[in-house]
Amino acid sequence: MAKTYQYCVAENWGKGFIDHVESTKITFTGFPGNVWQVPAYNKHANLWIAKVAGVAKTKDEAQAIVDAEVTAAQTAWDNNNVEGETNEQKVDRLGDRPADITLTE
């Protein structure tokens, strides 16, 4: 089965990281840990990865990076308690607990 997406790690530096022309030619999805999902077998995506000095990752490597970031965020959320606060109040204060993320091929 041919893969649909490829993954890379690249730090988003802000304006110009994804320019207007790129955003019309490529579907980008960002994940925790500076992991980016772009179409596989796409010359525009490959050029963008080179432009941002992205480091290619397999799906499993990218998943491990995302898992580590999500686990850290979940642990921080779990440990951010105020004495006497209900779970509902905690959600109001912090938002929902970070959810697990599963990458697709």
What is the reported pLDDT for 99? 97
Using CA atoms, how far residue 14 sits from 11, 33, 39, 53, in Å, is 9, 15, 21, 14
Q: Retrieve residue 29's tokens.
A: 């999805």
1-10, 27-36, 81-90: the lowest-pLDDT one: 1-10
Task: Work out whether strand 35-39 and strand 55-57 pair parallel, antiparallel, or are unpaired.
Answer: unpaired
Angstrom distance (rounded) from CA 98 to CA 79: 13
pLDDT tens by residue, 35-78: 999 999 999 999 999 999 999 999 999 999 999 999 999 999 99
